[in-house]
Each structure stands twice: as C-alpha cells, then as structure tokens.
Amino acid sequence: MSEAAAHPAVHQHTAPTGFIRKYVFSVDHKVIGLQYYGLAIVAVVIGMALSWLMRLHLGWATLPIPGLEKLSPAGAPGNVMTPEYYLSLMTMHGTIMVFFVLTTAPFAGFGNYFLPIQVGAADMAFPRMNMMSFWVTFVAFLALMSAFFVPGGPPISGWTAYAPLSAVGQTSGPGEGWGQTMWAVSIAIFCVGQLLGSLNFIATTLDLRTRGMSLARLPLSTWAWFITSVIGLMAFAVLLPACILLILDRTAGTSFFLPSGLVFGDQMLPHSGGSPLLWQHLFWFFGHPEVYIAILPAIGIISHILPAFLRKPPLGPRVLVGCIASIGFLSYMVWGHHMFVSGMNPFSAILFSVPTLVITIPATIATLLWIGSVYGSRMQFTTAALFCLGFISVFTTGGLSGFFLAQPTIDTYLHATYFVVAHFHFVMAVAAIFGMFAGTYFWMPKMVGRMMNETLGKIHFWLTFVGVYCIFMPMHYIGLAGNVRRYAAFTDNFLVPLIPVHKFITIAALLTGAAQFLFLFNLIWTRFRGPKAADNPWGATSLEWSTTSPPPFDNFGGRQLVVHQEAYLYGVEGASADFIMQTSSETVEKP
C-alpha cells in the first residue's frame, strides 16, 4: 500500500480536474461525504414515502390509493394494498431507513466530511479506499432497490429477516424468492462498504491529527465517529457471514437455519439440522451494536453543536466520551434482549437483561450532562440549537421506554407490540434524525458556503418536533393495550377499537412528512440562492471553522494547522472574545 499515510503539507496534493474526477469518482473526503449524504436523502425520501403508504393502509385498510396499482399490479389490485404488499413495503422501509439513512448520513455522511477537517488533516488516511467504500455502498443500494422490480417483488420478512420465513425461498410467501435474495446480497455488500469506511475513520483519527491535536482535544463529534467505527468494524463482520449463510440456505440447499420437518403446502422440505435461533443470534449480535452505530454519531454531533449556541463549554466532555465508549462496549453484551421470548434458555434472559439495564446508566449520565450544560447559559436559539434541544427531549423519551423492554417479565407482555415500535422510532427515527438535522443546519454553511434560511428552518423544527410526538407517543398507549406490530390490518374485535388511534397517527405522520419538504426545499434553495456564508458564521471553535466556506480541496489551503486549545472554549472569563478557537494561541490568565 503505497498510500500508507496522507502527507498533508509534504504531499503535493493537486486539485482534481474534470467533472468525473471532481464530483463522481472523487477521492476527496468532502465530496464523498456529500455523496453519502445525498444517498441518504434519496433513501429517506423513499423510506418516508413507504411509511406513508403503510400508515394510510393501517388507518384505512380498504382505501384505494390512486396510482398504487400502476406501481405494483400484483401488490395492489384495484389500488388497494394486499397484506403481502404491506409487509414488503414494511420490510423495505425498515431496511432502507436503518442501513441507508441512519448508518449513512450521521456517520458516513458528516463523518467523512468533517472528521479529517476536525483533526486537521488534508484528507482521510486512504482516499481511494474511501471512494471505494462509497461506491460499494451505492451498489448495495441499487441491489436493494432491485428487489422492487424482481419477480415476486420485495421480501416480506421484515428488516430482521427471521429464518425459516426468509430462508426457504419462494415457498414461504410472496417476495420470498428473488426479492429476499437481493435483500441479502445488498446487505452483504453494504457490510463490506462499511468495513472499508471504518478502517479509514480509525486510521485517520489515530494517525492524521495535526500538531497539537491530542486525543484530549478532539471534538466530541470526532470521538463519536471514531468509537462508532470501532463498533462497526466488529458488528458488520458478523452480519456479512450471516447473510452469506442465508443466501446459501436459499440457493445452495444448505440448512444452516432450517431444521427438519418443515412442511409448506403439505410438502415436507428436505432440509435438516439447522436452527432458526442461530440466525437470530448472529443477526442480533450485529443488530444491537448497529442501533448504537445509528445513534452515537448523532450524540456526538449534538454534543458538538450545543456548546456553540450555549456559548459555554459542555459539562464534563471527558465523562461524555467515557459514556459513549461504555455504551459502545456494552452494546455487544445485550443482543439477547431481542430474544427474551424466542425460545432460548430462560436463564439467559436474566443474563442479557442486566447489561441492558446497565446501559441506561451512561445514557442517563449523558442526558444529564446535556441538560446540565443548558443550565446557566444564555442560549442562541438557532434552528440547529433547537434541534439539539429537541434531541435531548426525544432521546430521553425513547430511552425511558427502553427501560420497560429491558426487563424480560415486562417484555413478555410488550414484545412485538407497538410499544416496541414507539421505542425504536423515538431513539432512531426521531433522535438520530434530529442529530442529522442539527448537523445539516449547523454545517451546511461550511459545506456549500451559503447560509440556510433560518425562518424556514424554525418552522421545520416546530412542525417536526410536535409532529413526531403526535406520531410516536400514542404508539406507547396502543402497545400497552396489546396492539400487535407488523399486522397489515386490524380485523379482530380486540384491535378494531384502536383503529381511531391509528388514524390519528396516520394524519400526524402525513402532516409531519409534508413538513419535511420544507427542509428539502431549504436545502435546494440554500445551495443556489442562500446568502454567502462567512468562514465562521457561528463563532465556533473547532478546526472546520478555521478554513473557508466551503473549504479548499486540501481543506486548509496548504497550511499546516497547529492546535493550541481544547475544543469548546466558549465564554472563557478574561478572553478577548466569547470564544477561543482551537488554533488560537491566546492564553488567558485564570482570575
């Protein structure tokens, strides 16, 4: 490997020329970061549209939705969704959102753009491998999208793809032919892309920090990206073989996840010896760290942004890093809490429950640190700041519902109900996305050199903040009432009385979804018409604000930055301004 390390000042880094080299096959981490971000935007629009279709069907199961039959003649004859089509939309919704939105935007998107800049490097440690990791992820996305168009349509087994439903092939249901195989292929390719990305993040954080940027001076966002990549390195490494084994079971006649005696349509299948629980163990050993991979970058991002608008240092940043690291570490010990009623040994339920509950401790400390940071501040309520505050609120709500599910006795009742759906949507769909929004409003001026419209942003925030509570808070109530999840429709006497709540949720979801178009419009408007941004419009301290907006191709215009300060010197008594940048050599006399 001749590019064993980038050479910031020594290396003759020439700017790329030509459209393809600049914007398509670019090795510039900034372009790659924007490509990931763009992929995530496309994915989130598709994922959100799928959720609207799902919610419409749940509120009004017999409602014909205009145009649906054109989209899928088999899935929606007469424009009315069949149950299997609902399940396939649900599967694709979950898969797209978890992988191509939550693992992509906050981590690969912003991380790729800002990690090298925040450590003071000219690029990632392995720029070509970085480019490869994006295009591999892109190919994975195409493979997943192809599931919509293959014979049989998308799979119906949920993003969790439990065997045997996902492993026997066409026999178990519509979409379980080519659709499920393309799903598994896509996810396997995605794992490779993430692995390559993680290697880059780790090497860059450890090796390419500029002089003076000790680990203790790293911004909290960089710490979060770094810890997330370490988690990802080991999590995706388990999902990859699991998907390959699934593909083998489906196509090569193996029985890793298939026991003997399976009967479909009165025909017994020839498989024998396998275990459906094996899939669950492998999947959730990946799956639980994965949800922390989804949230930790958002935690890092809002922890980074909040101090800039509080104009005071964050409370206990080192403790916060410790919390992020311990959450990452503990995330490997809790996977069985998805399997409390799975049929595994009941004793193991207690074993998994304890670390699951223990994870609440660092999560609580982090929340208290954020709330404690707001104390004694004079806050600037920009859109980015509002999304940070919103994050604290929704992360608290989502985290607390986890407390119920972490206990096997309570999970006995709440497993597979809407209570679970409420929990994971609050922490992933809401909290992590709020982190993405905060990051966008904060960093867009740096990335495109133009300020976003604050009025539109604030309207977007209010509509979204109220909207998400209207969508997901009621799900706790119907979950407690025993509303089972992953049902295409509610037709029995027990659940029919809850349909009015579903109708409310649907309307809230559609309105909140519509509000997101304000955000999309704002993005596009900013790119072309936004007022020019200064180098440091927020008066922030970290290294990305020590360069132009947008930064030049080598980030700092050939300069080698030297860092003299910690990351969050806001409101320092006796300083010349209410913030001291990391590159500043100002020393302040302690009063």
Partner 1 sequence: MGKTFTIVLVAITVVSAAFFIFHGQLLWLPEDVSVHGPGIDHQLMETMVGTGILFLLGQLVLCVFVWQSSGRKEGWKPRTFPGGPKPMVISAILAVGLEILALSFVGSKVWAGMYMNTPDSQALHIDVQAGQFAFYFRYAGPDSKFGELHPEKINQADGNFFGLDPRNDVAARDDVVTATMAIPVDRPIQLTMHSQDVIHSFYVRELRIHQDIVPGLMIPLHFTANKTGRFEIACTQLCGLGHYEMRAFLEVMPQDKFDAWLKQQESQ
Partner 2 sequence: MSELELSAETGHAGLMEGSPYGIPSGKLAMWCFVLSDAVTFSALLFAYGYLRVGSPDWSTPFLFSPSIVNGLVMTFVLLSSGLTMLASVEAAKAGHTAAGTRWLWATCALGALFAVLHLLEWRRMIEEGWGLFRNPTGGSTEFGAAFFCVTGLHLLHVVGGVFALAIIALGFRRGKYNRIDVEVTGIYWHFVDLVWMFVFPLVYLMNAK
Residue 311 class from Cβ within 10 Å (0-12 exposed, 13-18 middle, 19+ buried)?
middle
Query: Could you say which residues in the range 193-232 bind partner 1, by CB under 8 A?
Result: none
Contact between residue 513 and residue 48 where contact means Cβ atoms under 8 Å apart: yes
How many of the chain's residues bind partner 1 (CB under 8 A)? Answer: 111
The secondary structure element, H or E, covering residue 215 is none
Q: By CB under 8 A, is residue 504 in contact with partner 1?
A: no
**Which among 281-289, 345-353, 434-442, 556-564 is the span making contact with partner 1, rule CB under 8 A?**
345-353
Alpha-carbon distance of 355 to 335, in angstroms, equals 10
Query: Could you say which residues in the range 221-260 bind partner 2, by CB under 8 A?
Result: 233-234, 236-238, 240-242, 245, 248, 252-256
Residue whose CB is less far from partner 1, 211 or 378: 378
Q: How far is the CB of 255 from partner 2 (least distance, A)?
A: 6
Q: By CB under 8 A, is residue 281 in contact with partner 2?
A: yes
Q: Which does 449 bind (CB under 5 to 8 A by kind): partner 2, partner 1, none?
A: none
- DSSP category for residue 335: G
- DSSP category for residue 417: B
Contact between residue 302 and residue 435 where contact means Cβ atoms under 8 Å apart: yes
Contact between residue 210 and residue 562 where contact means Cβ atoms under 8 Å apart: yes
Choice from 138, 148, 477, 525 touching partner 1 (CB under 8 A):
477
Choice from 46, 96, 156, 224 touching partner 1 (CB under 8 A):
156
Task: Measure the CA angle with vertex 481, ends 480 and 484; round to 5°.
Answer: 90
**Which among 9-17, 20-28, 343-351, 510-518 is the span making contact with partner 2, rule CB under 8 A?**
9-17
Query: Could you say which residues in the range 68-87 bind partner 1, by CB under 8 A?
Result: 82-84, 87
Q: How far is the CB of 449 from partner 1 (least distance, A)?
A: 26
| Nearest residue to 227 via CA among 196, 206, 209 | 206
Alpha-carbon distance of 143 to 178, in angstroms, equals 11
Q: Across-strand partners of 268? A: 263
Choice from 150, 165, 244, 510 touching partner 1 (CB under 8 A):
165
Q: By CB under 8 A, is residue 298 in contact with partner 1?
A: no
- The CA distances from residue 159 to 99, 311, 413, in Å, are 10, 42, 22
**Which among 276-284, 376-384, 472-480, 487-495 is the span making contact with partner 2, rule CB under 8 A?**
276-284
Residue whose CB is less far from partner 1, 326 or 548: 326
Q: Which does 248 bind (CB under 5 to 8 A by kind): partner 2, partner 1, none?
A: partner 2
Q: How far apart are the first and last CA of the chain?
A: 52
| Nearest residue to 174 via CA among 115, 237, 87, 108 | 87
Q: By CB under 8 A, is residue 159 in contact with partner 2?
A: no
The secondary structure element, H or E, covering residue 570 is strand 569-570
Residue whose CB is less far from partner 1, 157 or 194: 157
Contact between residue 24 and residue 134 where contact means Cβ atoms under 8 Å apart: no
Contact between residue 397 and residue 426 where contact means Cβ atoms under 8 Å apart: yes
- The CA distances from residue 438 to 66, 179, 280, 389, 588, in Å, are 35, 35, 34, 10, 31
**Peptide bond before residue 164 is cis, with ω within 30 degrees of 0:** yes
Residue whose CB is less far from partner 1, 262 or 433: 262
Query: Could you say which residues in the range 565-584 bind partner 1, by CB under 8 A?
Result: 570-571, 573
Interface mask toward partner 1 for 243-282; x: CB under 8 A? ----------------xxxxxx-x-x-----xxxx-----
Q: How far is the CB of 484 from partner 1 (least distance, A)?
A: 5
Q: Which does 56 bind (CB under 5 to 8 A by kind): partner 2, partner 1, none?
A: none
Q: Applying CB under 8 A, which residues contact partner 2?
A: 1-11, 125-126, 195, 198-200, 202-204, 206-215, 233-234, 236-238, 240-242, 245, 248, 252-256, 270-275, 278, 281-282, 285, 560
